[in-house]
Structures are given as structure tokens and as C-alpha cells.
Structure 1
Amino acid sequence: MSKKILYKNQTTRKLSRNEKQRITIANLALIPSVIKNYIDTLVKVYRPTFTYKLKVEFFYYIIVTIIRRQNTYENKALENIPVALNATVLRGIKSDYNEYIDWLIEQEVIFKAENYVAGNSSNKYCFANFILPSLKEDSGSEIVEMEALKSNTIIVARSIEESEVYEDNKHLLKWFNDGLEIDFERAVTYIKDLSYYEGEIFDLTHKKVHWNHQILALHHKAFYATRNEESDFRLHTTLTNLKKIFKPFITYEGQELIGYDLKNSQPFFLIFLIDSIINNNDRISYILSKVYSKKTYNSFMLQNLRKRLSTESFQEEYKMFKTWVLNGEIYENMESIIKPKKRLGSYFANKYNARKKVTEIKKVDDVRALMKGVIFTLFFSGIKTRNSNYKIFKEAFPNLVDAIELFKGNDNAVFSKLLQNIESECIIDFVSRKIAKEYPEMPLFSIHDSLSTTENYALILEDLMPKYIFEYTGLTPKIEEEKWKKHHYQVDYVKRVELHPEWYAYNDF
């Protein structure tokens, strides 16, 4: 069987036009109690008059969507950042959706932070200063049902089995059931007593709002799953947005979970991408055509890439970089090029704060973390970045960086989307599907570039994951074990308690 046929048989089915016009939302949602009570009281006393029949559940839906969008990988700081709402989805649920948003703004529940500029930005919303103090003081949440929003165009999924992505990803999503549990009381106590996080002491109150939302979703089995072929194509679930600090509290049917991460996954998939273009791999051809427009993919970009990749100067640089990545020595070798210097016993990096639109100096724990930041800048910054480390690396690998910049074109975000699509096709649609077919009784959970299972299946997963990654890519991966119960953050926590007992209430971890 050819690679092309094998690949197509395992690709997630595309939705028909009629299916795309229908919108699926989860029935169960978590909303902060203080906001729900405030909205319920105002609706009862000062009932708003809208164009169509009032559905108070739509207020809840807007609030929950803002929290969920704030609770993403991009918002690592878990701040009250402004987030965009999908107007197409909102309009599909309620054609008069703007009246609901305007009412929430008038009641000082949310705040419109950025005006729409055609072609540049969308309206963005966050919680208003009026509601924030109450939200921080009372982090309790309530489960609400969205059944009232059901219509001819709206499907309300009463369980994860009814989500629009379930059938195509059943081999992973079927394990989101009553067996997946969190030690809720210990997790709540952990959040309550935590005052020192990621090397800094600062106000954690808004983080704790998000953390409570994450663990409550697991506690109440409010499972959800999404996968957008038009975006990163990653499978997003209740677990993918869970902070690592809560992994020690998660079990499946009482058993510890053990995960295996693909080390240096983004550089690894870059190597696969370049090798595949050189060798005309059908898998990559399909993904490229999906991510880029036909005009870009079929003409200028691909021609220029193949020309660039075939030069002797590129091959020289690429051979060295590829060796670093596959040997798991990329960060150590990059250090010898960047030659970072310590100041006051620590490393510091310039990081651009998109919300404040300024570059800030941030303390970095160690040189490895600093080099990871350099890779992140190399892959995901704009080609006009002024980052000094980017320039140093480009001087050492001018041809490699030029090739990466060709992938970025006028939009650096498209390269990130490309690598995430490759990762997702490999891990979700090939590796995990192969493992699930061979061992259908094995619980299997994905978190982007990693797969996890229960302790009694760990050795099987450890053996099969690199085997099938190699089968997909032709490259030998480095896999790293992660025991959820013994997550490194727990070690850090204990260590910091010993060093700074005045900052902690130690909870017998």
C-alpha cells in the first residue's frame, strides 16, 4: 500500500457543507457563581428587552466562552486578557447576539477592550473592573445546562460522545468517562495555599480563578473536545488545557497516569518537514496544500523552497542541525553559538508582551530554558524581529533560517499552524490510532505531542510510541517519560517549601 493511500485512509473526515453550517455546543458548562448570581438577579429585577425572546443561557455561554479562551496555551500567564469571540458561532446561536454583549457591558460584567478595525482586529472582551474583585474573592462555580439554546442550527451535545469530533477521534475520546477522576479536595487545598509560582511571588488571584475552573470541569465530568481543521488541527480537550501542576491529582480507574513526550517536538517536525519536501513525501504535500493557499503552495513557495533546500550550503548547515535535533543535543549546541551571559547570577531574556505591546526583560531559570526561548523565537516570531539571539543564530545558520522565513512568508503564524498540523496528523491520526487498534483496551490520552496511559500499560506505550513515530516520519525520536504522580513541579514545590516555609502551607505531598 502506498504512503498516499495509507495516509488518506487515516485522515479525519471533512465535514459536508450542511454539517459546517450546524454548530455544536456542550450542554454542561461551568460559570463563576458570583457572575451567574449577578446576572440572574439583574434579569429578574430589570429584565432586558431584546429583539427576540430572552434566553438567559446565552449570557452564560458568552461568559464561559471568555473564560475558556482566557484559559488557553497562548495565555500562559492566565491573566484577565482580552479575547476575541467567534461572531459566526454567536450569530448562529442568537442572531441578536450583540444585544446580549452590549447588556453585559452596560452591567459592567465584561469590557470591550479593542475596537474592530476591518482587516486588522476583532472586538475583544475581558472581565470588567467592577466584577473582578468579586470574581477573585469567590472562585466558586456552578454547572449550568445549555439545552435552551438548542435550535435547527444548534446541536447541544449532552456528553462528549455527542460532540462533533467524537466519532473521528473515538479511540482517544472514549476514555473521557467516569473513570477519569481528580482528587478534588487536595487540588483545591493546593490552589488555596499556593503563593509562589514559576519563580515569582505575586498576586495569583486571577490565576486561581482559572485553576479552579480547570479542576471543576474534571470534577463535574464537564468534558469537551474540539478539533478545527481550519486552524491547528490539534485535539483540544479538558486535559490539554489543564495546568501541569494538577497532573499529580489525576487518575484513571484509580491508577496513576504515565505519559511519554516527544522531546524537541517542533524541531523534530521541522526536520521531518524538510526531509519530506526533499523526498516528495505525499503526506507533507497534502498538509502543505491544506495550510497554504493553492497559489502560494503550487508556485512561488514550493519552487523557492526546493531550490533553496538543494543547495550545498543549505545541506551543510542542515546536516549539522538535524544531528543536533535527533541526538537530543540541540539546546546544548545552541548555547555554544548564542553564548549567553549571566547577570547577577541569573539569565535574562527579552520577551515581547503582545497585550502591552512592549518588550519586557524576564528572568529565566536556566540556560536550557533560555535556549528553548531562542527556538521559540526562531520558529514563531516575525521575520523582521529585532531579537538579538535570532540574529546570532541566523549568522550561524543563514540558509536554514532563510528556509524557515520562506515558510513564514508574510504571516509568521502560518508556520506555527503548519508544524502543529504535522504534529497532529502524526500523533493523533497515525500513532495513537495504530496503538489503539493494536491494544483497544488500553486507556489512551493525548496532550498534543505526548500520549499517556495507566501504569499497567506504560511499558507497552513506551515501546509502541517511538516505533510508530518512526514509521510515520522515518526519523528516530527521543521519548521522555513523565509520571503524573511524580511530576517535577511537585518536587519543586517540596523543595521550595523547605527553602521558604513562610510562603507555604505544606499539604503532605
Structure 2
Amino acid sequence: MSKKILSKNQTARKLSRNEKQRITIANLALIPSVIKNYIDTLVKVYRPTFTYKLKVEFFYYIIATIIRRQNTYENKALENIPIALNATVLRGIKSDYNEYIDWLIEQEAIFKAEKYEPGRSSNKYCFADFILPSLKEDSGSEIVEMQALESGKVIVARSIQESEIYEENEHLLKWFNGGLEIDFEGAVTYVEDLSYYEGEIFDLTHKKVHWSHQILTLHHKAFYATRNEESDFRLHTPLTNLKKIFKPFITYEGQELVGYDLKNSQPFFLIFLIESIISNNDRISNILSRIYSKKNCNSFMLQNLRKRLSIKGFLKDYEMFKTWVLNGEIYENMESIIKPKKRLGCYFTNKYNAIKKVTEIKKVDNIRALMKGVIFTLFFSGIKTRNSSYKTFKEAFPNLVEVIELFKEKDNADFSKLLQNIESECIIDFVSKKIAKEYPEMPLFSIHDSLSTTEKHAHILEDLMPKYIFEYTGLTPKIEEEKWKKYDYQVDYKKRAELHPELYAYNGF
């Protein structure tokens, strides 16, 4: 199948005003080969009778959307998690979209995992048990075109340049072109050989389906970009969803990439949030009004927050926590509060499995990873959590935790959304734009709280990133270098294979 990708000498057609008001979807999508073949066979033999003309590409779109959304940062475990589909987009493509979903359910390709409750939850879908064994045997994917789905309400973008968010994020998205490449053969071989991952040996079936999808997306240059102001406001691209184990295989115009991460980014932006509320920073006011209702934000939340922030006990908690964060030592200092115990030479933590709806015991290799998990629980769990580490931290920093809980009072997801919005505005809309304006010839890629460029330009990014983060926040950040080619996962894997060759005789199938 031919790929409609713009060459370096081509310029993307600008969208008209009417087109900008339409829903935009990407033309190229990836679908697991076994599912595509299954759908094609059934459509040919038992052609479904729908209200309007059948468009088989809509089946592909639904499947591709489920697996793409399963490939998100939130699904770190890369499991077969239930996914909510956007009814507005589906309806814009085909008014009879439920007939397509129901047909896929009847054919046992997907199943409905959650019932809709108005205002509380949406229907969610994932791959059915019937189709999973086939994915186990073949994790390959095929690229398909969605041009047939264009309608009066939907525009199918031929390239990333035609996505609805390209214009505002051009300084980052313009580098998604022919120069961005993945060593496809190397990455595929790495996945085939991998049976030991993140400290455990287990069946990697569904992970390998996702990994294959990530690799093929870059290999076929099926680039996409999304950014939703109503959720985390982060810029999502094939690189933000790429597992770190594949970073060593990525180059831009043959050059290796180097990234710079903001250390302790979520605690760092919490400090900025608190400082900004104290100083009435307009930037924070605008972001707060995006997350919370204007009435609630102005009349209740800010009054309560300012009252709590002036309490002597809070200031004592806050100054210590702030020092830990700005020194880049929060995880190390957290150990003295939590006092975790080792068992059999390892640390263990309780982790809630949302799919099974049970709490599971998970092994953690090092103290930093364990303490990072405690911080994430503190920031993103509900205020009624029974997590023991949360309670221990709250006993040590009661006033600070009470302030955090104010942000989660209506919905615990609001606080994570707030911090992600702050991070996104800082890194995407301020820092990276400043750098791109100063050095327009420098390739620049964002992965949430980090920015990356080629080795040739690494020293520029290393100098400017902390400079502009300070200009935005008034706080001095700690920046950590990450050379993609030397990423620890790859090195770790080779070392483990040398030390324990017997472990790698197991192939997970």
C-alpha cells in the first residue's frame, strides 16, 4: 500500500476555516494483522447489513484507536485495558457507529467492559478473549489508510502537518519527518529476544503487541499528534508513547539523540503552584480556571488555599519539602520518613490493579523507584486511600497533605491534571518555544517533562532548558542528561543475559 507522506520539498496544504471546525483524524493507522485478516474474511463471507453503506475502514479505525490508546503513558503495564471511545468523533465519521461496534462484539474481536452511567462513566472496550490467543501467535501489524472515512464533519489529515494542533505546536511537530527513524530490524530482534523485563520473567504477549505497534508506527512514519486542553494538555506523539527500551534505536538524520529531564518534575511544579498562589501569579490563575469551575476556584478554593498557606504549621512543612525538591533529593529524604523494609533482598509495595480490582504485591528493585511510587500515590490517589505510606507521609507533613487534598476534594484526578497542565504550559508553550525561536535549525522533541535534540545541539539544550524553566517559574531546576543510545534498559538487559543465561532460555510463549 502506498504511503502518503510529504517529502522535505513539499508543503502541507493549509486548512480552510470550515475544515478547522471539523474533527480531524490521521490518515495512516496501524492494526494487528490477525485482527485485520479476521475482519476482512468475515466481511467477505458474511457481509454485515448496516443502515448505511458499509465502510470496512471504520472497523480498522475502532481497532486501531483501542490499541493506540492502550499504548498511552497511563497504561505503563501495557495490558489489555478497557478504552473509552470518543462518541463525538465516531458519530462524526458514521452516524450508525454503534452498529460497527456491536458487530465487532458479536464477532468476538472486542468486548464491552463497562456499562455507561450518565455523568459517571463511559462504555469501554478491549480485545476479547477469543482474539487474544491469535495475537499471541502473531504480534505483527499492518498500516491502513483512513481516507474513506472523510465526511462533512470529519477531515482525514494526510500528514501530521494537517493535524488540528500543528500550527500551535509547529516548533516541535515539524521534526516529525523523514529524518526521524528507528532501527527497525534491531528493535524487532530486541523484542523477539526479550523475555526478562523490569525484574520479572513472565508472558510478554500483550506487551509485545504494544511494542510492535510502537516500532511500526515510527518505521512507517504514521505520525500523529494530539493535545487536549480539557484533560492533561500534554502533547502526545509516537515518541511520548514509546517505551524507553526502544530509545537506543531512534536517530534523527543519522544522529543520536540526547535528552534532558526535569528531575522530580511533579513535586517541582507543586512548589511552583504553591509559590504562585502566594504571589497571585496570573499564569496559575488561568490554569486553575481551566481545571476547576470559575465560581468554585474564585469563591472557595483560593480563599481556603490562601488561608491554609498562611498557617505556621504549613510553612514549616513546606520549607522542608521545598528544600528536598529543589535540591533534587526528595526521594532520598523520603526514605527516612517511610522507613521501608527489605525482604529477600528486595523492596515490595502494594499496587492497585484497576482491571482485576484487587491490590497486588509488586517487587521494586531500588529505593528510588519505591519512593517515587509513594510520591505518585500521594499526588494521584484519592483522599480516602488506605495506603500505609500515604498515611505515614501525612503524619509527617499533615499541613502539606491537607493542602494537596484541597485540590482533590471534588475529584482526585483534578490535581494530577492541574500539575500536568502546568508542566505542559511551561515546557511546551514557554521553554521549547523560546529555544526554537533562538535556534530554529535545532531539532527538538518533547516527552512531557523532558526535551531532546541531536548530539550536535545537546550543549545548547543543556544550557537553555534550565534557564527558561527558571524564567517561567522563578525556581532553579535540576536537569538530568539522558543519552538515548546508552539507555540503561538496554545495558541492563545485556548484563543480565551474561550473568543469568538460563533465564533467557524462556521465550514467554
TM class by smaller structure: over 0.9
Distance 2:323 2:114 in 1: 45
The runs of at least 4 consecutive aligned structure 1 residues that moved more than 2 Å come to 15-21, 117-120, 502-505
Counterpart Cα distance in 1 of 2:211 and 2:360: 25
| Alignment partner of 1:419 is 2:419 | yes
Partner of 1:386: 386
Q: Is the 8 A contact 2:20 2:164 kept in 1?
A: no
Q: Deviations over 1:238-280 (max 9, x none)?
A: 1000000000000000000000000000000000000000001
Q: CA deviation at 1:16?
A: 13
Give the match's secondary structure for 2:233. coil
* 1:432-443 equivalent positions in 2, closer than 5 A: 432-443=432-443
Deviates more, 1:111-120 or 1:228-237: 111-120
Distance 1:285 1:215 in 2: 40
Cα deviation digits, residues 45-85 of structure 1 (max 9, x gap): 11111011111100000000010111111111111111111
Match of 1:144 in 2: 144
> CA offsets, 1:413-436, max 9 Å, x none?
000000000000000000000000
- State which drifts further: 102-111 or 244-253: 102-111
1:200 and 2:200 aligned: yes
Q: Is this contact kept in 1: 2:347–2:367, CA < 8 A?
A: yes
Offset from partner CA, 1:161-201 (integer Å, 9 cap, x none): 00001010000000000000000001000000100000000
- Mapped to 1, the partners of 2:73 and 2:238 lie a distance apart of 12
Q: Quick one: distance in 1 between partners of 2:410 and 2:127?
A: 33
Separation of aligned partners in 1, 2:307 and 2:115: 43
1:117 to partner: Cα distance: 2.4
Distance in 2 (CA, whole Å) between partners of 1:403 and 1:490 is 41
Q: Secondary structure at the match of 1:226?
A: coil
Shift of 1:378: 0.5
Question: Unpaired segments of 5 or more residues in structure 1?
Answer: 1-14
What SS class does the counterpart of residue 196 from structure 2 fall into?
Answer: coil
Q: How many Å separate the matches in 2 of 1:181 and 1:503?
A: 32
State the match for 2:402 in structure 1.
402
2:19–2:155 contact (8 Å) kept in structure 1: no
The corresponding residue for 1:8 is none
- Following the alignment from structure 2 to structure 1, what is the Cα–Cα distance between the partners of residues 226 and 467? 27
Which residue number in structure 1 is paired with residue 262 of structure 2?
Answer: 262
Distance in 2 of aligned mates of 1:279 and 1:120: 36
Report the equivalent of 1:295: 295
Residue 504 of structure 1 deviates from its aligned partner by 3.2
CA separation in 1, counterparts of 2:456 and 2:41?
51
2: CA distance, partners of 1:233 / 1:57: 29
SS at match of 1:237: coil
1:88 is matched with which residue?
A: 88
Aligned to 2:32: 32
Task: Provide the rounded CA distance (Å) in 2 between the counterparts of 1:199 and 1:429.
Answer: 37
The residue that corresponds to 2:348 in the other structure is 348
Partner Cα distance (1:68, 1:89) in 2: 15
Which residue number corresponds to residue 376 of structure 1? 376
**What's 2:4 paired with?**
none
- Per the alignment, residue 317 of structure 2 pairs with 317
* Residue equivalent to 1:7: none
How far is the alpha carbon of 1:139 from its aligned partner?
Answer: 1.6
> Equivalent residues in 2 for 1:103-114 (5 A)?
103-114=103-114
Q: Counterpart in 2 of 1:3?
A: none
The aligned residue for residue 173 of structure 2 is 173
For 1:9-41, what per-residue CA distance to the aligned partner results, in whole angstroms no more than 9, with x for missing partners?
A: xxxxxx999778521000011111111111111
The alignment partner of 1:73 has SS state of coil
**In the aligned structure 1, how far is the partner of 2:222 from the partner of 2:43?**
26
Q: What is the aligned residue count?
A: 492
Confirm or deny: 8 A CA contact 2:444 2:451 kept in the other structure: yes
- Pairwise CA distance, 1:118: 2.6
- Amino acid of the residue matched to residue 148 of structure 1? A
Q: For residues 303 and 139 of structure 1, what CA distance do their matches in structure 2 show?
A: 54
Counterpart of 1:233 in structure 2: which amino acid? F
Confirm whether residue 326 of structure 1 aligns to residue 326 of structure 2: yes
Structure 1 equivalent of residue 429 of structure 2? 429
CA distance in structure 2 between the aligned counterparts of 1:481 and 1:83, rounded to whole angstroms: 34
Question: Is the deviation greater in 233-242 or in 36-45?
Answer: 36-45
Counterpart for residue 460 of structure 1: 460
Residues 206-235 of structure 1 show CA distances to partners (whole Å, capped at 9, x for unaligned) of 110110000000000000000001110000
Greater mean deviation of Cα atoms: 75-84 or 115-124? 115-124
Instruction: Classify the secondary structure of the residue corresponding to 1:125.
Output: strand
Residue in 1 that maps onto 2:11: none
Alpha-carbon spacing, 1:151–1:19, altered in 2? closer, same or farther (3 Å): closer
Which residue of the partner structure matches residue 189 of structure 1?
Answer: 189
- Partner of 1:29, secondary structure, is strand
- Return the letter of the residue paired with 2:420: Q
* Partner AA of 1:320 in structure 2: M
Q: Is the 8 A contact 2:135 2:205 kept in 1?
A: no
Q: Match for 2:241: what amino acid?
A: N
TM-score, normalised to structure 2's length?
A: 0.95
Instruction: Please identify, of 219-228 and 307-316, the stretch whose mean Cα deviation from structure 2 is larger.
Output: 307-316
Identity %: 88
Tell me, in whole angstroms, the C-alpha distance in 2 between the residues paired with 1:332 and 1:29: 43
Matches within 5 A, 1:62-77: 62-77=62-77
2:117 is matched by which residue type in structure 1?
Answer: V
Q: Which range moves more in the overlay, 438-447 or 329-338? A: 329-338
Distance in 2 between residues matched to 1:20 and 1:379, nearest whole Å: 36
Distance in 1 (CA, whole Å) between partners of 2:262 and 2:214 is 25
Q: Secondary structure at the match of 2:491?
A: helix
1:251 maps to 251
For residue 24 of structure 1, give the secondary structure of its aligned residue in structure 2.
strand
Q: Does 2:499 correspond to 1:495? A: no
Inter-partner Cα distance in structure 2 for 1:108 and 1:256: 43
Separation in 1, partners of 2:395, 2:19: 49
Please say if residues 34 and 134 of structure 2, whose CA atoms lie closer than 8 Å, have aligned partners that are also in contact: yes
Q: Compared with structure 1, are the counterparts of its residues 70 and 457 closer, same or farther at alpha carbon in structure 2 (3 Å cutoff)? A: same
Matches within 5 A, 1:272-291: 272-291=272-291
Supply the distance in 2 between the matched residues of 1:147 and 1:187 (Cα, whole angstroms).
30
Q: Give, in angstroms, the shift of residue 119 of structure 1.
A: 2.7
RMSD over aligned Cα atoms = 1.5
* Paired amino acid for 2:212: N
Code of the residue aligned with 2:160 in structure 1: it is: I
Deviations 1:461-493 (A, max 9, x none): 000000000000000000000000000111211
What is the identity, as a one-letter code, of the residue corresponding to 1:414?
Answer: D
Tell me the equivalent position of 1:9. none
Alpha-carbon displacement from aligned partner over 1:308-345 (angstroms, at most 9, x marks no partner): 00111111111111000000111111111111111222
**Structure 2 partner of 1:23:** 23
Amino acid at match of 1:26: A
| Structure 2 residue identity aligned to 1:471 | E
